Amino acid sequence: MIRQERRDSWVKLTIDRPEARNALNFETLAELEEVLMELEKDESLRALVLTGGGDRVFISGGDLKQFAQLRGQEAARWMSRRYQDVLNRLEQFPVPVVAMVNGHALGGGCEVALACDFRIMAEEATLQFKQVQMGLVTGWGSGARLLSLVGYAQAARVLLLGEKLTAAEALAMGLVHGVAPREELEEQVEALVDKIKALPPLAVRSFKRLLQSWRSLPMAEAQALEREHFAALWETEDHWEASQATLEKRPPVFKGR
């Protein structure tokens, strides 16, 4: 199941399946998709936080008992596409998504974390792409995400060897944005959310769309898209409020319009 907790202008989602180490089975995946689709409509939302229930495991990957019922390449393709579609929706969520990696992230759990914009990790936790040890490759779309994040040499170490990474190693590699003792993890995540909330919401949403588009566009097309977003934001109240506040040497008050 997924627990949803609203905190003023942001929402915390918890994958809560303690009996299955927070494994993401088909039912939980469908529930996550439904929640994301509903939250996408909320224009007052400024950030989304995703975490796992308890303090031992973030997400342990897929549900192996359920997956054992799948046979044949067509079934495997269907399953891969299903998880890719939901993780793509998570990646394309209109506001920043923070993975609060409260415990071990294994296999598909790492893939979920990489579909988020930010990753803050408990220093006691680990990351491990275990797919190669299961005789597989990544199937939820995040192998390519990992490569774009850390480059070939580090991706080869993580994917080809399936090595377990400590939080410190993940931070040094650039896989996560911050590390905190477990008892301080939520505080650090909330501090990041506060930074996001203090920024003009329309600009944040536009930059997120641009960042995702830039990865796959040639330079000329990327710059053309940037110009369109720049022009659209130029006439917003938030832009002119920021400009005036700078001149008046006071904090800006953003209204999201």
- Each residue of 157-190: pLDDT tens digit? 999 999 999 999 999 999 999 999 999 999 999 9
Altogether, the residues listed in the chain come to a count of: 257
Q: Same structural domain for residues 60 and 123?
A: yes
Q: Same structural domain for residues 6 and 44?
A: yes
Residue type, 22: N
- Model pTM? 0.91
Give the CATH number for residue 216: 1.10.12
Q: What is the pLDDT at residue 136?
A: 86
CA torsion 195-200-202-206 (nearest 10°) is -60
Q: How far apart are CA 63 and CA 104, in angstroms?
A: 16
In the predicted structure, residue 59 carries a pLDDT above the cut 80: yes
- State whether residue 29 is helix, strand or coil: helix
Q: Is 253 a member of any domain?
A: no
Q: What is the pLDDT at residue 4?
A: 97
Q: What is the pLDDT at residue 187?
A: 98
- State whether residue 186 is helix, strand or coil: helix
Q: Same structural domain for residues 73 and 10?
A: yes
Q: Is 257 a member of any domain?
A: no
Smallest CA-to-CA distance from 192 within 43, 16, 38, 46 is with 46
| Domain enclosing residue 22, as ranges | 2-197
For the chain, the domain total comes to 2
Q: What is the pLDDT at residue 215?
A: 85
Q: Same structural domain for residues 41 and 156?
A: yes
In the predicted structure, residue 51 carries a pLDDT above the cut 90: yes
Smallest CA-to-CA distance from 91 within 148, 130, 132, 22 is with 148
H helices of the chain, in order, are 26-39, 64-67, 73-91, 108-114, 142-160, 167-173, 182-197, 201-214, 219-234, 237-248
Residue after which a domain boundary falls, among 197, 218, 234: 197
**Confidence category of residue 33, pLDDT binned at 50, 70, 90:** very high
What percent of the chain stands above pLDDT 90? 74
Q: How far apart are CA 46 and CA 256, in angstroms?
A: 10
Q: Same structural domain for residues 168 and 184?
A: yes
Q: Is 254 a member of any domain?
A: no
Each residue of 94-137: pLDDT tens digit?
Answer: 999 999 999 999 999 999 999 999 999 999 999 999 999 988 88
Smallest CA-to-CA distance from 139 within 117, 119, 159 is with 159
Give the pLDDT mean for 206-219: 90
Q: Same structural domain for residues 147 and 205?
A: no
Return mean pLDDT, the chain: 93
In the predicted structure, residue 70 carries a pLDDT above the cut 80: no
Q: Is 234 a member of any domain?
A: yes
Q: Same structural domain for residues 87 and 126?
A: yes
Q: How far apart are CA 90 and CA 97, in angstroms?
A: 8
